[in-house]
């Protein structure tokens, strides 16, 4: 009983250590980002044209929000590595090799999803929505609403791009099968469009722009599942 308490106490101490390092990394990166918040906001809003703000603290609060987001993105390698370092002692040697591949892959895929959204999906969505309003209306976005719109797209895209990696991991752990993925394709398509409707702003254009890459990633996941399926 005493050994169990000591083991639990050691786990709690180790978890506390990993959380402190992660929070410190995010905080440090956010503070550094805040110094360059003007440049970051100008970069993020390059597709929006001229923006306005409607209340005195809006620009300041938006700068904090942007700095926190950039800080989290910059500190993501540290946060993920701290999580896996906490889990690592409980894994077998073969499982550790798998996770040494999973850690950098998950970071790269998240960055790829964010970049894909920012450079392709976001300007396309803004252009479509502005043109849809017609020539009789003039677009005038507030800073807060545009940044919120952008973040509601960037974060889901970053997470969605993890789908092939998660599929490979679940296949290796024998929690899902390639045949099971193929049989569930029609249900997955319905779930994808429902998920896209929940994660994105309430307009069809951005929902479709999120749903289509997810469908493509799902098909890639099915192919990967078939290629790496465990042989008898």
| Inter-residue contact 117 to 157 (CB < 8 Å) | yes
Per the structure, the count of domains in the chain is: 1
The answer as to whether 68 is a domain residue is yes
The answer as to whether 201 is a domain residue is no
The answer as to whether 14 is a domain residue is yes
For residue 2, pLDDT over 60 is answered with no
pLDDT in tens, 21-74: 999 999 999 999 999 999 999 899 887 777 888 888 888 999 999 999 999 999
Crossing angle (nearest 10°) for helices 37-44 and 143-160? 80
Tell how far CA 13 is from the center of its chain: 29
| Inter-residue contact 157 to 151 (CB < 8 Å) | no
Instruction: Tell me the whole-structure pTM to 2 decimals.
Output: 0.76
Tell how far CA 145 is from the center of its chain: 20
The answer as to whether 196 is a domain residue is no
The answer as to whether 232 is a domain residue is no
The answer as to whether 210 is a domain residue is no
The answer as to whether 224 is a domain residue is no
The answer as to whether 192 is a domain residue is no
pLDDT in tens, 212-229: 777 887 777 777 777 766
Enclosing domain of residue 49: 2-161
């Amino acid at each position: 009983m005493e050994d169990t308490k000591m083991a639990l106490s050691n786990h709690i101490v180790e978890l506390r250590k990993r959380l402190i390092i992660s929070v410190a990394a995010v905080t440090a990166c956010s503070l550094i980002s805040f110094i360059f918040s003007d440049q970051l906001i100008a970069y993020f809003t390059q597709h929006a044209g001229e923006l306005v703000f409607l209340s005195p603290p809006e620009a300041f609060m938006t700068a904090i929000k942007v700095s926190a987001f950039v800080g989290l993105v910059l500190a993501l390698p540290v946060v993920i590595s701290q999580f896996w370092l906490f889990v690592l002692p409980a894994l077998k040697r073969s499982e550790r090799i798998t996770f040494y591949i999973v850690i950098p892959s998950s970071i790269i895929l998240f960055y790829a999803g964010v970049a894909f959204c920012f450079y392709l999906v976001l300007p396309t969505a803004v252009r479509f929505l502005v043109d849809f309003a017609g020539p009789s209306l003039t677009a005038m976005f507030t800073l807060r609403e545009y940044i919120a719109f952008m973040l509601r797209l960037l974060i889901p895209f970053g997470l969605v791009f993890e789908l092939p990696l998660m599929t490979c991991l679940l296949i290796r752990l024998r929690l899902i099968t390639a045949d099971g993925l193929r049989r569930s394709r029609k249900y997955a398509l319905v779930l994808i469009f429902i998920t896209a409707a929940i994660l994105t702003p309430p307009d069809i254009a951005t929902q479709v722009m999120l749903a289509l890459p997810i469908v493509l990633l799902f098909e890639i996941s099915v192919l990967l599942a078939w290629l790496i399926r465990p042989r008898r």
